Chains A and B, each alone.
Chain A
């Protein structure tokens, strides 16, 4: 029996993933924070616009206080759903939220590949948990070799840099071909 066969399959998969991704660059805390800030701005702007429109509509109706409270609770719940849905949708489809697209980063599984919706949802939950202890859950990004935060480690994800696509590459030309 070979030495490779003695190791568990999960370890071998992890090693292979690391070998394949040797040239991959992982994104750091500041870059990711900027991407997150852009996403937060998008989420909040949409939420404020919708909330403003609903509040205007409700203001012309004479609604009891109890209903107001219920509407507020529904609004809060919708905000949570909207925020989670935003990240889950983008992470599980392209791996890039709009903020990540601007900062050229992508969330992928640690072994490579796209996140499933479930894993993306778990990452949102872990992200929230990592933020609770005064953001200390993000500190491992500073020292981890793959720049993973607590939420990345728990969800089995990494944040990688998306290489820039040159116009020549976009046209399908091989590198080194001078522009015509």
Chain B
């Protein structure tokens, strides 16, 4: 009897507790969706307090902890896999490549780079570097070598032809030793 009474009381208590939880959650939902809550959030985010909070968070160990977790749980890899699976990345790349933004950005970058004195200083430095001058001179020597090889081959043929003709004219047997 006592046990049955306790069980009934426990069940009744549980039901009341669930009702109270539901009521609490409903109250929270109502508060969050209220104009007052939106206004409070907007004001908080517009206040210097939000900047300060973000600044402090970035200053502190939070970033390191996030980075560690991102690496530990392979967040970037999973994200990339998903983006590739969904062809999001492909579309994004297509859009960038076919859109006018890329040309505009490239033009702007090129213009800035060409206008910079540092670039021309660098070009001059590279052009005068021993490696480059050596490569250019080696290229020149290699070209001259190629020409010389061609001339030698033709002159050897001419030698052989001339000697054959001379030997024929003098009715001598062809030379086996001197001919190339």
Contact = CB atoms under 8 A, between A and B. Distances in A.
Contact of A143 (B151, B152, B155, B170): B170
B78 interface: no
A26 B175 CA distance: 12
Interface residues of A, number: 18
A103 B155 contact: yes
A142 B180 contact: no
Nearest to B157: A30
A139 B162 CA distance: 11
Given A102-B148, A145-B177, A31 B166 contact: no
B159 A104 contact: no
A34 interface: yes
A152 interface: no
Interface string A24-56: 011111110010000000000000000000000
B142 to A, nearest CB: 12
Nearest to B167: A143
Contacts, number: 53
Contact of B162 (A28, A104, A146): A28
- Chain B's interface size range is 10 to 19
A142 B180 CA distance: 13
Given A30-B155, A34-B155, A142 B162 contact: yes
Given A102-B148, A142-B163, A143-B166, A30 B158 contact: yes
Nearest to A164: B149
Interface in A137-163: 139, 142-147
Nearest to A148: B178
25 contacts: A26-B178, A27-B159, A28-B155, A28-B156, A28-B158, A28-B160, A28-B162, A29-B159, A29-B162, A29-B163, A30-B155, A31-B156, A31-B159, A34-B151, A34-B155, A102-B148, A102-B151, A103-B152, A103-B155, A142-B163, A143-B167, A143-B175, A144-B178, A145-B177, A146-B178
Interface of A: 25-31, 34, 102-104, 139, 142-147
